[in-house]
Amino acid sequence: MSAAATQREKCAIIGLGKAGTAIGYLLRQLGYPIVAVASRSHASLEDRLRYTGGRGFTAEANAEAAKLATCVFITTPDDSIARVCGEIAEQGGFQPGDKVIHMSGAGGLDLLESARRAGALVASIHPLQSFADLEGAIRNIPASAFGITADREIEAWSTELVRELGGIPFAVPEAIKPLYHAAACMASNYLATLIHMVEETYLSLGLDREEAIRAFWPLVACTLKNIERSGSARALTGPIARGDAGTIAQHVQVLRDKLPAFLPVYREMGLQTVELALQKESLSPKSAEQIRKILKENGEP
């Protein structure tokens, strides 16, 4: 059964953070009736109802909100999903045949086990996207990839729903969901941390924050474009790709002297970059071993 065939299915959104509110807004735009939404506070309800519509409930009445729907999205913080689902199930909020969905990247279907025991069909539909603010979430969910983990009976429905949202669906086996999410964290969260380290390094040279970003951002933007166009190995440039062991030794020394907190990250990233350069075949095995020695924790330049 496709999502398009069940557009009159009544939806409830339990948790009105950025992701939940954005999904509610987009579903509403597609013609899905949002019959109920629930949030932890009256203030957030008042603010978010203009996006989602529906009858508003506070968290104490999550089960009452769920009872009004046949498709329940639990979009609370990850650590609360199982508890909230269990409370709704205990209070009779789910009926056999209902669909219950969470949007956690790392969490499996076990978070919704209480809904499954009540006869509901469960799925995880995770947008592979970063939500800095609500408007950005609404804008960026369409065209994003979605990792889908679902009961067999609603795999096709989940896939079609993602397509309706404008997303790109792909299946994620439940056993490796944490690995899928670890990759997402590296792509987004750790990238932000790495850029922060670059920013702090330029600040240490005496630039202000605006000057620092203006200095290195064209390099970041060009690198990302090259990766998108050619892949990570072919996009790799720099001293490790060229085998410039002396330059790497200078980097290690200056970081040890000036920014020692960043040195462990530089070492580990450098060791991974050696492997990428070998894959690119721009680095000889002899030069690779020389650079590895410099980068090892106790190695001396």
Please report the pLDDT score of residue 68 as a whole number.
97
- Compute how many other C-beta atoms are within 10 angstroms of the C-beta atom of residue 152: 7
Q: CA 129, CA 124: separation in Å to the nearest integer?
A: 15
Question: What residues contact residue 85 under an 8 Å CB cut-off, 6+ apart?
Answer: 74, 100, 102, 111, 112, 113, 114, 115
Share of the chain above pLDDT 90, in %: 91
Measured between alpha carbons, how far apart are the two ends of the chain, in Å?
63
Residue 25 above 60 pLDDT?
yes
Please report the pLDDT score of residue 4 as a whole number.
47
Confidence of residue 8 (pLDDT cuts 50, 70, 90): low
For residues 39 and 48, the answer to whether their CB atoms sit within 8 Å is: yes
Specify the fold of 4-177.
Rossmann fold (3.40.50)
Residue 88 above 80 pLDDT?
yes
Phi, psi of 76 (to 5 degrees): -75, 170
Q: CA 33, CA 52: separation in Å to the nearest integer?
A: 9
Annotated domain spans of the chain: 4-177, 187-295
For residues 167 and 177, the answer to whether their CB atoms sit within 8 Å is: no
Please report the pLDDT score of residue 2 as a whole number.
45
Please report the pLDDT score of residue 243 as a whole number.
97
Q: CA 78, CA 20: separation in Å to the nearest integer?
A: 12
Q: Can you point out the beta strands (E) in 107-200?
A: 121-127, 145-150, 168-171
For residues 11 and 21, the answer to whether their CB atoms sit within 8 Å is: no
3-state secondary structure (DSSP) of residue 35 = strand
Model confidence over 127-162: pLDDT tens digits? 999 888 999 999 999 999 999 999 999 999 999 999
Residue 85 above 70 pLDDT?
yes
Q: CA 129, CA 141: separation in Å to the nearest integer?
A: 7
Confidence of residue 299 (pLDDT cuts 50, 70, 90): very low
Residue 191 above 80 pLDDT?
yes
For residues 61 and 68, the answer to whether their CB atoms sit within 8 Å is: no
Residue 117 above 50 pLDDT?
yes
Please report the pLDDT score of residue 96 as a whole number.
97
Closest by alpha carbon to 45, among 264, 217, 53, 143? 53
For residues 40 and 58, the answer to whether their CB atoms sit within 8 Å is: yes
Model confidence over 26-59: pLDDT tens digits? 999 999 999 999 998 888 888 899 999 999 999 8
For residues 177 and 107, the answer to whether their CB atoms sit within 8 Å is: yes
Please report the pLDDT score of residue 298 as a whole number.
53
pTM attached to this predicted model: 0.86
Residue 267 above 70 pLDDT?
yes
Confidence of residue 300 (pLDDT cuts 50, 70, 90): very low
Q: What share of the chain is helix, strand, coil (3-state, %, to 5)?
A: 60, 15, 25
Provide the mean pLDDT of the chain: 93
Closest by alpha carbon to 66, among 27, 103, 38, 41? 38
Model confidence over 207-254: pLDDT tens digits? 999 999 999 999 999 999 999 999 999 999 999 999 999 999 999 999
Please report the pLDDT score of residue 5 as a whole number.
42
Q: CA 129, CA 131: separation in Å to the nearest integer?
A: 7
**Exposed (0-12), middle (13-18) or buried (19+): which is 209, by Cβ within 10 Å?**
exposed
Please report the pLDDT score of residue 130 as a whole number.
87
Give me 226's structure tokens: 């090259």
